[in-house]
Structure 1
Amino acid sequence: MTAQNKKAEDDYYCVSLPPSEWRHIDRWLGDNVSLTSVVLTELNKIQKTYEKGKRSAVRIGIASIDTMIGGLHPGELLYVGSAEERYNFAVGLNIIHAAGMEGNKKVLVFNAGRGQYSYARSLISLCTGIEESSLQNAQSLTGEELEQVETVFAALQLSNISIISTPNISVEEICNKMKALRVQDYPDFILIDNLSFLTMQEPCTNRSEELQKITEKLWSIAKDSRIPIVLTGSLSKRRMEMEGYRPTAADLPEERMLKFLDKIVTVHGNGKCKDRLYITVIKNPDGTYGYRKIKYDPASNRLIELLIQGQNKSSYKSN
């Protein structure tokens, strides 16, 4: 066996378990019993083999993200984080448009932070390219623009997009609604916008503990239902002004969230180029990391893919 193959095997059998849980098992099996490690490593192998055989990737519709993370697999929790909430909102809207309308995916959206009419206007603005202010003051629309709005409205009616708008919805309510779904009604994936506005019915000592428990519950319900979840949320702003700034896992709102997030993608802007965003993958078990630039229209929240040298849509592969 080569050194490279040996390392791959070691990684495959690697078990990450807190010391407290090891001690709990050893208390029953005895400190010197090797069965502890044997059982746990074998369980780890079985779980990974099972997952590899069952997983098929779902595209969320943003090519830069899909290409890097390999799509979303059943039960995965993807965190899309940004220090600026408007970028998270833009990503969410583009996922709904690309996957739900153009890709005809069944998408369930939990809108926790915005009014339902504001969310609808933003989606129409993205699809038509008409600024939201013009949609609010409909008298300023031209006949052609009004026709565009009506066309988008008809397309939305035919789509498989469901949006539940409940400001400051609790994570327990989200989990209960997911559990109430019949298997035949399962969406291709769920989008939750935004972690910053989610709450918990269960008492917590502080917001940090609440964020950890919210993430853990979403991770758990994703695994139980095997429905992939996209969760948008905030990142720390403390390093934003640094030259060459690029977010890392240390910028998560709560460090203990990290172990419950299967994949993490960050979005940040460039002060010099207002129409460019950077999409960065900072956690991905499927192995691809790095960043891509994407064009951003602040007026309509539309994201436009820039040409990726040597890559096109056919480069995307699902397992």
Structure 2
Amino acid sequence: MMDYPDIAESTYREVPHSALYSHDAEYALIGSMIHQPDLIDDAGARLTAGDFHHPACAELFEIMLAMRSKSLQIDVVTLSDTRSHLADGQSTLGVAAHIAHNTPSAANFTAYSKIVKQRSVARRVIAAAQIMSERLHDGDALDEVLSQGQQAWMALEAEGLDARRRYRFIGEILPEAVDGIDRRFNREVSLGFDTGLASLDEFIPGLCPGHMVVVAGTPGSGKTTLGLNIAERVALVKEVPALVFSMEMTDVELTNRSLASVGSVQLKHIAEGHSMADGEWPGLTKAVGQLNDAPLIFCDDSTLTLRDIRQICRTVKREHGLGIVAIDYIGLINGENKSSSRYEQVTDISKGLKRLAKELGVPLLVLAQLNRGPASRANKRPTKSDLRDSGQIEADSDVVVLVHRDNESEAGQAGVTELIVDKNRHGPTGSCRVQHQGAYHRFVELIPGSFTDEDVEMNRPSTGRKYGKGRPDHAAF
């Protein structure tokens, strides 16, 4: 084994070589990344800090990932400047310099990372086997233990495989692209999920895999309603798992909103209970039947970080499959670096969510708030530059939909809402008008001729004008 007397002299005891870890490979891997920081991106795609057995290596890896995400220069001095001492009290400069000095070349970086990853998987295999043994001793059913053990083994085995080649020549991609065109032409598959609102779908022909779609609005504008409606549609109509994270509402509150939307039952009556009318019970019963087996998944943990969200998404996809993820809302996701400003935290979170959408291969619906800029304008219409917390949200998004309703106008009081597609990387921008049925927590299409564009844009009083209740057929599941 390589000798690292300065690192573990006082803290780490001599450990015999084991098939479950290789400190030599971990030292060499960290040293390679210090010599060539560009390798950090590759390592970050393959490994996590938990893959390292040596605590100092795991900590140095976390520091380098954080610095790389902020585009900071990396060497032994900047590592020390970022964190002067490691968790065990050792000098970061001393440890990093010693590792770098004993790693003369990064040429075998791929081999080092393979060893570290495979040993990490081996440790988790042993841990999984121990858990299975304990469950059998506790009297759990053999079939159930074996089934869960098999799932765990398959997931770990996949992690231990060599990373696939991360680039392709266009000649290799063309057959896949042409096949996709042919299948869409024959309507065998769709480009992505529709929103359930035909007027909005004219701008967004599909919520596509890997896309980050931002739905933003002021408090009470209906952005949560729109996000939940889309998730409900994916789960109920497409019958594909839809995962909804809510940092504001409990899972019971979300379920009540889904019952109101799907069953055409007033949310107020569901919340109160005693005010339920006789005619609403059939709708509620029907909604319960439809939602009971729907792959609609809620997570209401308000303490979530981006790392937590990523882990939950991966677990759901592995165990149940995954069609779409909705997050309500980005401004409430906890930052992992407590020492940085909130602007920096949200910037990092936004970048991470975009990467997560591509990794999962599903559309990611990210809800966001707007700042107070629109309130100072005559028409009060927002733009994508009004996104709150960080301009990075606009930069990372594929589509930005702004939910705008002027509650001081007659149209706004009737629920008339403008959906402004202010950014669309793969289609046109523009706006459409729909109706917010707040009592049922849903959006529906407007009845043609119930208002004019001029009335809404000029906030013109329309004496005697009666706004319809919208078309409920678009909200039916």
Give the residue type in structure 2 aligned to 1:266.
Answer: L
Question: 2 CA distance for matches of 1:96 and 1:227?
Answer: 12
Q: Does 1:174 align with 2:318?
A: no
| CA-to-aligned-CA distance 1:52-84 (integer Å, 9 cap, x gap) | 666932223333332212212211100000022
* Residues 61 and 103, structure 1, Cα contact 8 Å, conserved in 2: no
Match of residue 259 from structure 1: 395
- Structure 2 counterparts to residues 124-203 of structure 1, below 5 A: 124-182=259-317, 185-203=320-338
Give the residue type in structure 2 aligned to 1:301.
Answer: H
Q: Does 1:205 align with 2:340?
A: yes
**SS of equivalent to 1:239:** helix
Question: 1 CA distance for matches of 2:374 and 2:317?
Answer: 44
Question: 1 CA distance for matches of 2:210 and 2:448?
Answer: 29
Give the residue type in structure 1 aligned to 2:439.
Answer: A
* Residues 80 and 267, structure 1, Cα contact 8 Å, conserved in 2: yes
Structure 2 spans left out of the alignment, 5+ residues: 1-70, 72-166, 182-190, 450-477
* Residues 373 and 382, structure 2, Cα contact 8 Å, conserved in 1: no
Give the residue type in structure 1 aligned to 2:397.
Answer: L
Question: 1 CA distance for matches of 2:327 and 2:297?
Answer: 12
Give the residue type in structure 2 aligned to 1:228.
Answer: P
* Residues 74 and 227, structure 1, Cα contact 8 Å, conserved in 2: yes
Q: Does 1:82 align with 2:82?
A: no
Give the residue type in structure 2 aligned to 1:173.
Answer: D
Structure 1 spans left out of the alignment, 5+ residues: 1-20, 22-42, 310-319
Equivalent of 2:435, from 295, 306, 312? 295
Q: Which has the higher contact order (CA 8 A, sep 6+)?
A: 1
The worse-fitting range, judged by mean Cα deviation, of 132-141 and 182-191 is: 182-191
The worse-fitting range, judged by mean Cα deviation, of 190-199 and 140-149 is: 140-149
The worse-fitting range, judged by mean Cα deviation, of 177-186 and 282-291 is: 177-186
Question: 1 CA distance for matches of 2:317 and 2:368?
Answer: 28
Question: 2 CA distance for matches of 1:86 and 1:119?
Answer: 17
* Residues 84 and 234, structure 1, Cα contact 8 Å, conserved in 2: yes
Distance apart, 1:85 and its partner CA: 4.3
* Residues 232 and 242, structure 2, Cα contact 8 Å, conserved in 1: no
Distance apart, 1:229 and its partner CA: 0.5
Give the residue type in structure 2 aligned to 1:260.
Answer: D
More strand by percentage: 1
Equivalent of 1:286, from 407, 423, 426? 426
Question: 2 CA distance for matches of 1:307 and 1:288?
Answer: 24
Distance apart, 1:94 and its partner CA: 1.7
- Structure 2 counterparts to residues 198-277 of structure 1, below 5 A: 198-253=333-388, 254-270=390-406, 271-272=408-409, 273=411, 274=413, 275-277=415-417
Larger radius of gyration: 2
| CA-to-aligned-CA distance 1:167-209 (integer Å, 9 cap, x gap) | 2422110011122345573322111111222112233521111
User: For this pair of structures, how many residues does the alignment match?
Assistant: 267
TM-score (norm 1): 0.75
**SS of equivalent to 2:336:** coil
**SS of equivalent to 1:140:** coil
* Residues 80 and 264, structure 1, Cα contact 8 Å, conserved in 2: yes
Give the residue type in structure 2 aligned to 1:57.
Answer: G
Give the residue type in structure 2 aligned to 1:288.
Answer: P
The alignment's C-alpha RMSD in Å is 2.8
Distance apart, 1:264 and its partner CA: 0.8
**SS of equivalent to 1:167:** coil
**SS of equivalent to 2:335:** coil
**SS of equivalent to 2:405:** strand
**SS of equivalent to 1:303:** strand
Question: 1 CA distance for matches of 2:243 and 2:444?
Answer: 23
* Residues 186 and 227, structure 1, Cα contact 8 Å, conserved in 2: no
Q: Does 1:68 align with 2:238?
A: no
* Residues 84 and 268, structure 1, Cα contact 8 Å, conserved in 2: no
* Residues 81 and 265, structure 1, Cα contact 8 Å, conserved in 2: yes
**SS of equivalent to 2:380:** coil
Match of residue 117 from structure 1: 252
Question: 2 CA distance for matches of 1:235 and 1:179?
Answer: 30
Distance apart, 1:307 and its partner CA: 5.8
The worse-fitting range, judged by mean Cα deviation, of 56-65 and 106-115 is: 56-65
Distance apart, 1:97 and its partner CA: 3.2
Identical amino acids, percent of aligned pairs: 19
**SS of equivalent to 2:385:** helix
**SS of equivalent to 1:60:** coil
Structure 1 residues 308, 211: CA separation in 2 closer, same or farther (over 3 Å shift)?
farther
Question: 2 CA distance for matches of 1:211 and 1:52?
Answer: 35
